[in-house]
Structure 1
Amino acid sequence: MKWLAVLSMLLLGNAQAEEVGFRYNGTQLQANLEKSDNWPAGPVVLLTHGTLAHNRMEIMSTLQELFAENGISSLAINLSLGLNGRTSAMYDCATPHVHRHEDAVKEISAWVEWLKFEDVKNIVLLGHSRGGNQTARYAANAPDKAVSRVILLAPQTWSEKYAARDYEKRYGKPLQPILDKALALVRAGKGKEMLEHVDFIYCKDTSVSAEAFVSYYRPDPDMDTPRLLASIRLPVLLFVGSEDKVVSDLEEKLAALPEKPKNLEIVVMDGADHFFRDLYAEEVVEKALEFMGK
């Protein structure tokens, strides 16, 4: 990879906030780096945001600030979502969608390599919501040896039945005919062909490539994060919000696991919603510090 220079820097107390970036497979990736006194020795926390979101959304910014206050460096990555140099803003639904769910796993891997290039030897992964699933996917598949721990905040759950029901409830039309059309295009080698006036994730009446639609909606058990936990060999700290209305069945699915992995610690926060705001964020960081041995 060709690493590019830091774009900007400002001082925040004892921490340094830097916008950093590099080109990966022809796409400019961006992230916010908060350097504390432990840089680069670590642990350094690599944060991945949720669906169509960005690295400066409230939960990401709050966690970085709290980690910095406690002397922990962190890197909040901005998933490209198929865009070059994507800025820190929610994905504009008017922009055609060519990103795939699994692209994030490759970008997490690329940022791990970037941190190693910066001489970081102890990396803790943290993912929220869909970013939690993407983080778990990376961790379940031979992660780099520099990665020491995994923290998952309200990670995505999934079932084929729920996905179909949710799509029809949200958009008033069945998912399967659109998925069948997209699958047919992918099988014919036309995965990059655009589907117009399609409802996709949180975006109504947008355009999306066939392969992108298939990536997010095809039957894929690995979309269900609890299923991945047994494949992660690293220590895992998983947070559940009792009032989470977005990933509402996470606690139930964790309880239904055939066997709880010995490397898994589950924290259920009574009263917390999907975004662990205010005092819940402080508690998340407090538990994370204990988990990291700090």
Structure 2
Amino acid sequence: MKSIFRTLTAVALSLPLLGGLAQAAERVELDHDGTTLVGHMEIAPGSEIADGVVLMVHGTLAHGQMEIMRSMQSLLAESGYNALAINLSLGQDAREGMYDCASTHRHKHENAVDEIAAWAEWLKGEGADRLAVMGHSRGGNQVARYLAGEPDPAVEKAVLLAPQTWTAGYHAKDYQKRYDAELAPLLEKAKTLVAEGSGDEVMEMDFIYCEDTTATAASVVSYYREDPLMDTPTVLGAVSVPTLVIVAGADTTITDLEEKMAEPAKEEHIEMTVVSGSDHMFRDLFLYDAADAATAFIGWH
């Protein structure tokens, strides 16, 4: 058994700015259970899809072309790695950009697992002989859940960037702090509606990052129930695919990841790397360190 705890520091300031790396990624679509899923594919110079693809999953209510995902995709391409950055549908057809808080939330956290699986199957159909999966923040938890289920045999490696953690009572405390309101009565109402078969009933409330919005009871239960599987280090106990967890050393969003990874990282197939000084989004030059760790771990080149 082994445990790897490497601490990385930012690379030299002489490196080019991330904004200068951006290249046009091709928009691709996939029909999944009547919903059009959208992704953006970047093929590395001199490469082809058969050389393998990194399937990338974004964080909460975000999208595959947000800054961290687009910049990471460009850095992967510079290192010779093809990458597909997907937009989780979040219950919307052909969704692009950040989630519109004016729209009723009809999505569930766990829906991402099926969409990741659908994209993996699509990539194989397009000729990808091997895959790696990468997820950031909530997307890291969703990737871990995919891996803990029945991942495609083509998936060889996984990289989780500052993946979500959870402890009992977290949602109630966070909701109180964010919205100065009690979560318990809202969650109990949602649970009752779901139990009665009325999970599609819409509730008016503050939801995740959206103030004064609406969400179905089923969505409320999915995101706010007490669920140990929201804790990525816990989920990793059921994952057999070699996985690298990259901790942001100065993360103020996910503050307990390094501590919680102490036990999982003792497993032979689980590694942990700390990017010292980085915030949750791996802004600026810290993303280079994360990309270097990711490509070295995947090890295709």
Q: Same fold (TM over 0.5)?
A: yes
Taking the aligned partners of 1:277 and 1:25, their CA distance within structure 2 comes to 36
1:58-73 pair list within 5 angstroms: 58-73=67-82
* Residue-by-residue CA offset, 1:235-264 (whole Å, 9 max, x unaligned): 111100111011111112123x37722111
2:195 counterpart of 1:187: yes
**Partner residue in 1 for 2:155:** 147
Which residue of structure 2 lines up, in the alignment, with residue 285 of structure 1? 291
Cα separation, partners in 2 of 1:231 and 1:78, compared to 1, 3 Å: same
Structure 2 vs 1, CA of residues 101 and 258 (structure 1 numbering), >3 Å: closer, same or farther? Answer: closer
Quote the Cα distance in structure 1 between the aligned partners of 2:66 and 2:172: 28
How far residue 212 of structure 1 moved from its aligned partner, in angstroms, is 0.5
Matched, 1:158 2:182: no
- Partner secondary structure for residue 41 of structure 1: helix
CA distance in structure 1 between the partners assigned to 2:51 and 2:215 by the alignment: 40
Shift, 1:41, TM fit: 2.4
Partner of 2:187: helix, strand, or coil? helix
Query: Alignment partner for residue 234 of structure 1, among 220, 238, 241?
Result: 241
How many angstroms does 1:38 deviate by?
Answer: 2.9
Report the 3-state secondary structure (helix = DSSP H, G, I; strand = E; otherwise coil) of the residue aligned with 2:268.
coil
Tell me, in whole angstroms, the C-alpha distance in 2 between the residues paired with 1:142 and 1:126.
16
Cα distance per residue 1:136-174 (max 9 Å; x no partner): 000111211010001000000012212111111111111
Matched residue type, 1:192? D
1:172 aligns with 2:180: yes
Which stretches in structure 1 are left out of the alignment for 5+ residues? 1-11
Of 15-24 and 164-173, more deviation after overlay is shown by 15-24
Please report how far the alpha carbon of residue 265 of structure 1 lies from its aligned counterpart in structure 2 after TM superposition.
Answer: 1.0
Please report how far the alpha carbon of residue 70 of structure 1 lies from its aligned counterpart in structure 2 after TM superposition: 1.5
State the distance in 2 between where 1:57 and 1:135 align.
18
**Which structure 2 segments of 5+ residues have no match?**
1-19
Match of 2:224 in 1: 217
Query: Does the CA contact (< 8 Å) of 1:42 and 1:123 recur in 2?
Result: no
Q: Cα distance, 1:32 vs. partner?
A: 0.3
From 233, 248, 253, the equivalent of 2:255 is 248
Distance 2:182 2:266 in 1: 36
TM-score by length of 2: 0.90
Say whether the 8 Å CA contact 2:233–2:264 is kept in structure 1.
Answer: no
Relative to structure 2, which stretch is displaced further, 229-238 or 123-132? 229-238
- 1:16 Cα offset (Å): 6.7
Q: Secondary structure at the match of 2:64?
A: coil
| Distance in 2 separating the partners of 1:64 and 1:258 | 27
SS of structure 2 residue aligned to 1:81: coil
| Count of matched residue positions in the alignment of Structure 1 and Structure 2 | 279
Please name the residue that 2:146 is paired with: 138
Offset from partner CA, 1:177-233 (integer Å, 9 cap, x none): 10000000000000001012x011001111000000000011111000000112111
Identical-pair percentage: 50
Higher relative contact order (CA 8 A, sep 6+): 2
